[in-house]
A and B are shown apart, each in its own frame.
Chain A
Amino acid sequence: MPFEVLMPRLGWNMEEGSLGEWLKKPGDYVVAGEPLFTVEGDKALQEVEALESGVLYIPPDAPAPGELVAVGTRLAYLLGPGESPPTSAESPSATAGFAATPPLVASSDAAPEPARPATREPAISPRARRIARELNVDWRQLRGSGRSGRIVERDVRRAAARVSPLAQRLAADLAVDVEELAARAPGKRIERADVVAAAAAAEAAPPAARQPLSPVRRLIAERMLTSAQTTAAVTLTTEADATELVRLRKQLKADGQEPVPSYNDLLVRLVAQALLEHPDLNARLDGDVIVRPTTVDIGLAVDTERGLLAPVLRDVANKTVPQIARESARLIERARAGQVSADELSGGTFTITNLGMYEIDAFTPIIHLPECAILGVGRIVPKQVVVDAEREQVAIRHMVFLSLTFDHRLVDGAPAARFLQRVKTFVEHPYLWLVG
């Protein structure tokens, strides 16, 4: 009995997933437990193991890598000794109505489901078909108004009144959507010239590129919208003198630390210290309860090819800067390679996002729910600043803008400002948090 390899549910919210790539080739003998394929699910790219042993057979109608399919969709078979691949007629492709977590590999005992051709002609009543023939209307282009979309007489007559038979034929040849043309000019009869003009226009202006949302993009869209709609976000901005921080990093470099801690690593450590002193900001809203975790877990916004990811550095308040530097380097690399797991992307208590490398000064980041606040870091840039107003003394200093967006539902402006002020102090005097 061939075993079906199905799209697994990798998290409770996962309804569909993208098949990443096959880690075995068709015809390979796969041992149960070996990684079989990857799935791009809830932001994470995960490897899925085979639950059975057998020869991998990928049927021709199976989803291609990159294709978004419903949880439970059959991806391939594992064939036992002497077994031949099932024909498509007997392959029960499961539907999205999966309960709980399905087995990754299931026996294909299920009753066969008659295969429905993916592209069907629209249903049309016999009468509408006859009238379409009489009026020379290409009904395959019509949208039916009958129950379940059936094309009925009125649809054909409406089309005949709206579009001349010649225009109909021409539209089919030139791949012009006459329905759309007609919708653009209600009440006007579509003639040959209209179709020709539309075809010419279509050639002149290539249509905008259209691309379905990837799972990652879709999730980002949902989360950003939820955050924008449900939080009472306020952004505070302050400019800090980062000259000492720049000096510190130079000294660490000169000291031969490997890897050299980045500004982000230093910021993670000093923000963690500030959060320990201001636990109001290290919080999340859980229903009617404000939860203040005992550890500080800081997410680091990382720009990847697949979209924005925020892998989380754990318990940073109890880690040294070199530790943080090593872990963040590894996490960022994994995120960029698409290897980061769902676990590594969740459970943060605060997030830092840095756009300094793009010469951004200040911005208003969006809170990464369910966290309470996010710190946006701008570029560190030398500026001429007043260092002593009385003596009318100016100097060249390395300045950085810090933008704190916080959820006013959880915390008020003054405590948030005090927190940001504390971060500013640490940026300006790194030895303070070194001691703390």
Chain B
Amino acid sequence: MRDLMFVEAAREGLAEEMARDPRIFVIGEGIGARGGNFNTTTGLFERYGPMRLRDAPIAERGFTALCTGAAAAGARPVVDFMFIDFLSDAFGDLFNQTAKLQWMSGGRIKMPIVLRGCVGVWPGNGAHHSGNYYPFFVHIPGFRVVVPTTPADAKGLLKTALRCDDPVLFLEHKGVLTLRGPVPDGEHLVPFGQAAVRRSGKDLTIFAIAFMVHRALEAAEILAQEGIEAEVIDPRTLAPLDIETVLASVHKTGRLLVVDEDFAPCGMAAEVAVQVMERGFDDLDAPVRRLTGLPVPAPYSPALFEPVTPGAMAIALAARELLAE
């Protein structure tokens, strides 16, 4: 077990898989000799050269469609978007081709492509670099959507993504990139569709997505001082979604708070709430409560960061209100 930074652990996973499978290549802006804006490929250019770490011009639609073709032809591309907001230029082909080719070919064509990039609101990042956007992909049949929150998961989930034959959105929140944590030695794979219970509790369940897991854990600490035991669930992957773990937790606690930095309408929090309502109605002792980000384009002003995203105090407050229901 070693103590690694999130980015280092993910890069280690990428390096291991590139060594294991020569069909894997990475394409993106500045991911070659420069090592990537977020150090996603630092040191890999020296090891694997420009054919497998291909710098691209600012033409997301072009190089993403190129990778769809490469995946159809048997390669295993990784598109590094830097910020997932830039993926929007490639939406059309991703939804119409990348997500559908396996189905339209009756399974004869595989689509092993990893689309990675940073998500989330962060101080000073502004409206063009702060999207979450995972509901779009969860909505479309065919995509896997991964939201790692710890260094160990960054490595284990990225390795699983690189071995997956479906298109995978690998979304790294800017709030977790520099977090440090233990990473197992040797081969480490984390399966998709298995949520992690980050903290056990009997009074309420907090389902938190991506960086909100850490905020929820802070909130749980505050609540613990008041004698409230919150259980914190990290889904790790949104598609597939491990609703069973959530249902088991709600069976125990009777109350569910969903914390999502993304916007509320038609969002992931609504999806989780309704699935629990459908299958766990008789376990609910109170209406499911959502705590989400403010539905506005992310402000540039660092001072406005806290007001638009759920913080630990806001989560603790929502938890108290839920317990009073």
Residues of A bordering B, CB below 8 Å? 125-130, 146-147, 150, 152-153
Q: Which of B281, B282, B283, B325 touches A146 (beta carbons < 8 Å)?
A: B325
Flag if B283 contacts A126 (CB, 8 Å): yes
20 A-B pairs with C-beta separation under 8 A: A125-B254, A125-B285, A126-B281, A126-B282, A126-B283, A126-B284, A126-B285, A127-B254, A127-B284, A130-B282, A146-B286, A146-B324, A150-B286, A150-B325, A152-B254, A152-B285, A152-B286, A152-B325, A153-B254, A153-B285
Please give, as numbers and ranges, the residues of chain B lying within 8 Å of A128 by CB-CB distance.
285
Annotate B302-325 by CB proximity to A: 1 below 8 A, 0 otherwise.
Answer: 000000000000000000000011
Flag if B283 contacts A127 (CB, 8 Å): yes
User: Could you tell me the dominant secondary structure of chain A's interface residues?
Assistant: helix
Sorted nearest first, the 10 A-B pairs with minimum C-beta distance are A127-B285, A130-B282, A125-B285, A153-B285, A127-B254, A126-B281, A152-B285, A126-B282, A147-B325, A126-B284
Please give, as numbers and ranges, the residues of chain A lying within 8 Å of B285 by CB-CB distance.
125-128, 152-153
Q: Number of contacts between A and B (CB, 8 Å)? A: 31
Shortest Cβ distance from B286 into A: residue: A125
Shortest Cβ distance from B324 into A: residue: A147
Please give, as numbers and ranges, the residues of chain A lying within 8 Å of B283 by CB-CB distance.
126-127, 130
Known contacts A126-B283, A146-B325, A152-B325; 19 additional CB pairs below 8 A are A125-B254, A125-B285, A126-B281, A126-B282, A126-B285, A127-B282, A127-B283, A127-B284, A127-B285, A129-B282, A130-B282, A146-B324, A147-B324, A147-B325, A150-B286, A150-B325, A152-B254, A152-B285, A153-B285
Complex CA gap A125/B324 in Å reads 13
Please give, as numbers and ranges, the residues of chain A lying within 8 Å of B324 by CB-CB distance.
146-147
Complex CA gap A379/B318 in Å reads 72
Complex CA gap A128/B285 in Å reads 6
Complex CA gap A147/B282 in Å reads 19
Closest chain B CB from A399 CB (angstroms):
70
Closest chain A CB from B170 CB (angstroms):
37
Closest chain A CB from B40 CB (angstroms):
45
Please give, as numbers and ranges, the residues of chain A lying within 8 Å of B281 by CB-CB distance.
126
Please give, as numbers and ranges, the residues of chain B lying within 8 Å of A125 by CB-CB distance.
254, 284-286
| Most chain A CB neighbours (cut-off 10 Å) among B281, B282, B283, B285 | B285
Complex CA gap A129/B282 in Å reads 8
Complex CA gap A146/B282 in Å reads 17
Complex CA gap A150/B283 in Å reads 15
Please give, as numbers and ranges, the residues of chain B lying within 8 Å of A152 by CB-CB distance.
254, 285-286, 325
Closest chain A CB from B280 CB (angstroms):
9
